[in-house]
Amino acid sequence: MPPSRVRFIGSRELHRALPKVLENLEDPSARCVLTIHNKPKAVLIGAEAFLSILRGASPEDRLLALQLGALVQGLEQASSTGDEQEDEALVAV
C-alpha cells in the first residue's frame, strides 16, 4: 500500500496556496481535508480520483472515510452536549 497522501489544510492556507494545492491534486492518490477552526469541513480530490471513486473505492479511500467519520462523529458528540438545549429552544420558537 502506498504512503498516505492525505493532507489537512486550513482555509487560510488553502487561499494562499490554491494553485499548489490544485497541482498536488493531479496525483490521483492525493487527498486534502479542508479544515475550519481545526474541524474537517470538506475533502478535496482531483478529477481523476473522483472518477476512480465512482468506479469503486480503494482501500485508502475506505480508510479515510472511516477516519473522517470517527473524527466528525467525535466533534458532533462534543458539540451536541451543550447545544441540544439551544436547538430545542430554537425549534420551539
User: Each residue of 35-91: pLDDT tens digit?
Assistant: 999 899 999 999 888 888 777 778 888 888 888 888 878 777 776 655 555 444 444
- Decide the pairing of beta strands 6-10 and 39-45: unpaired
- pLDDT, residue 44, reads 93
Q: How confident is the model at residue 4 (pLDDT cuts 50, 70, 90)?
A: low
Q: Which three cell numbers stand for residue 7?
A: 493532507
Domains located in the chain, CATH noted: 6-92 (3.40.1620.10)
